[in-house]
Amino acid sequence: MSSIAFAALLLAGCATIPADATRARYLMGTTCTVTVPAGEEADAQAALDEIARVEQFLTTWRDDSELARLNAAADDVAVDVSPELFALLDEVSSLAETTGGAFNPLVRPLVDLWNTRGEGSVPAQSALEAALARTNPALARLDRAHSTVALSRGAAFEEGGFGKGYALDRALAVLAQNGVGRAFVDFGGQVSLFGWSRGLDVAIAHPEQRLEPAVVVTVESGSIATSSGSERTFVVDGARFSHLIDPRNGRALPPRGSATAFDARGLVADVLSTALCVLGPDEGLRWADAHDVAALFIVPNPVSDAWEVRTSRSFRSHVRAIRLVAPNLTVKDQ
Ligand code: ADP
Ligand code: MG
């Protein structure tokens, strides 16, 4: 899917750091690039293989993945699910609960209705209400004792909001297991890294110009995910919509800048960036502060054509440095 944040590898004093090597592959609808110390290219390939393995069981862009088969199972049938997929769906479901439903992995009926995987369309209110009813978290029953999942009333999982974050965690686990000392994985709108003891500069893109860095943050390890309602938009009758859906009312969001989440784990950062985008800056920052979440919004200034950068309290403590690098950006203090 789309990429919003991207990374600029600006090493702070690289004299004693050996050169890096990169390996890239097209995965999950975008290009994934793995950077490791030169000589460890085989480990970079192993990390990409691991992401390909995750895509194999998680993608619902094909009918034959494990998740696609679960989605296609008849209503209320308990489907045996691999321990890995079960644990992932279980964790994503409880993360979704902490967001108050702003993130909902069962958003699939609304994704289909708004056709946000395709050209986009605006549904009739009656169809919207019917689809919304099918996203109720109670319609997915996860049985931990038997590792089965039963879906009711046509409920279905949508992996678009969490698959890349999980895949990044798996890629980093493979790199660490193989003894790689430091790595940087760029998966479009989300990056994960570890071992950069001198700090690595990571660029967060401008919400409307993804090749333009807007903010640069310096981090040692962790994951930075950005969701943008200003990218991948479609217009119907003069109104613009994004591929992000508010599961609380069933409506595709209008474009309104981007939300970035930092977390030690890619899965968490991926889920939270989507949730924060849905909540918007005011509600999102209140929620982030209440949950000690590191969040950064880049949103249009309501009275000018400039953009505002707003961060939650803990964002600055999680990154070593933060710099605004685009013109027309101002920091709004909370
Ligand atoms: P990207 O796709 O650019 O990585 P996100 O991580 O924000 O961006 O994920 C957006 C995708 O998540 C959408 O394309 C859709 O598949 C899914 N999605 C949209 N709205 C929600 C939501 N409220 N909760 C969970 N998933 C969502
Ligand atoms: Mg996401």
* pLDDT, tens digit, 9 for 90 and up, residues 113-170: 999 999 999 999 999 999 999 999 999 999 999 999 999 999 999 999 999 999 999 9
The CA distance from 159 to 70, in Å, is: 12
Element of type H or E holding 266: helix 266-290
Ligand 1 atom closest to Cα of residue 246: 23
- Residue scoring higher pLDDT (131 or 9): 131
Ligand 1 atom closest to Cα of residue 190: 4
Mean pLDDT score, 14-22: 66
Calculate the alpha carbon distances from 162 to 93, 166, 328 in Å.
Answer: 11, 6, 31
| pTM (2 d.p.) | 0.94
Q: Does residue 1 surpass a pLDDT of 70?
A: no
Query: From atom 15 of ligand 1, which residue's Cα is the shortest distance away?
Result: 160
Nearest Cα residue to 323 out of 199, 206, 220, 217: 217
Query: From atom 26 of ligand 1, which residue's Cα is the shortest distance away?
Result: 161
Q: Measured in angstroms, how far is the CA atom of residue 244 from the centroid of ligand 1? A: 5
Q: Measured in angstroms, how far is the CA atom of residue 9 from the centroid of ligand 1? A: 26
The CA distance from 214 to 223, in Å, is: 18
**Per-position b or e across 14-45, b if 16+ CB within 10 A of its CB:** eeeeeebeebeeebbbeebbbbbbeebeebbe
| pLDDT on residue 18 | 59
The CA distance from 108 to 240, in Å, is: 20
Helix (H, G, I), strand (E, B) or coil at 87: helix
Whether the CB of 1 sits within 6 Å of ligand 1 = yes
Residue pLDDT, tens place only, 251-288: 999 998 999 999 999 999 999 999 999 999 999 999 99
Q: Measured in angstroms, how far is the CA atom of residue 180 from the centroid of ligand 1? A: 31
| pLDDT on residue 4 | 32
Query: From atom 27 of ligand 1, which residue's Cα is the shortest distance away?
Result: 161
Q: Does residue 333 surpass a pLDDT of 80?
A: no
The CA distance from 310 to 325, in Å, is: 15
Strands 329-331 and 307-311: parallel
Which residues sit opposite 321 in a β-bridge? 218
- Residue scoring higher pLDDT (185 or 332): 185
Ligand 1 atom closest to Cα of residue 165: 6
Nearest Cα residue to 327 out of 312, 309, 303: 309
Phi/psi zone of residue 115: left (φ > 0), alpha (ψ -120 to 50 degrees), beta? left
Q: Measured in angstroms, how far is the CA atom of residue 273 from the centroid of ligand 2? A: 5
Phi/psi zone of residue 195: left (φ > 0), alpha (ψ -120 to 50 degrees), beta? left
Torsion angle defined by CA atoms of residues 22, 28, 29 and 31, in that order, rounded to the nearest 10 degrees:
-10
Query: From atom 18 of ligand 1, which residue's Cα is the shortest distance away?
Result: 161
Whether the CB of 123 sits within 6 Å of ligand 1 = no
Whether the CB of 189 sits within 6 Å of ligand 1 = yes
Whether the CB of 106 sits within 6 Å of ligand 1 = no
Nearest Cα residue to 5 out of 189, 230, 165, 162: 189
DSSP E strands, 209-270 = 213-219, 222-228, 234-236, 239-241, 245-246, 251-252, 258-263
Q: Does residue 305 surpass a pLDDT of 90?
A: no
Q: Does residue 16 surpass a pLDDT of 90?
A: no
- Please state which of the ranges 173-182, 205-214, 271-280 shows the lowest mean pLDDT: 205-214
Calculate the alpha carbon distances from 302 to 149, 210, 257, 307, 332 in Å.
Answer: 45, 21, 12, 9, 12
Residue 247 CA: which ligand is closest? Answer: 1
Averaged pLDDT score across all residues of the chain: 93
- Please state which of the ranges 5-19, 132-146, 201-215, 269-283 shows the lowest mean pLDDT: 5-19
Ligand 1 atom closest to Cα of residue 245: 20
Are the CB atoms for 103 and 95 separated by under 8 Å? Answer: yes
Ligand 1 atom closest to Cα of residue 1: 2
Phi/psi zone of residue 222: left (φ > 0), alpha (ψ -120 to 50 degrees), beta? left
Is residue 231 very low, low, confident or very high in pLDDT (cuts 50, 70, 90)? confident
Ligand 1 atom closest to Cα of residue 247: 23
Are the CB atoms for 2 and 228 separated by under 8 Å? Answer: yes
Which residues sit opposite 297 in a β-bridge? 259, 310
Mean pLDDT score, 54-76: 98
The CA distance from 75 to 100, in Å, is: 26
The CA distance from 68 to 288, in Å, is: 32
Whether the CB of 243 sits within 6 Å of ligand 1 = yes
Are the CB atoms for 44 and 268 separated by under 8 Å? Answer: no
Is residue 209 very low, low, confident or very high in pLDDT (cuts 50, 70, 90)? confident
The CA distance from 208 to 258, in Å, is: 9
The CA distance from 118 to 203, in Å, is: 29
Residue 270 CA: which ligand is closest? Answer: 2
Share of the chain above pLDDT 90, in %: 86
Whether the CB of 147 sits within 6 Å of ligand 1 = no
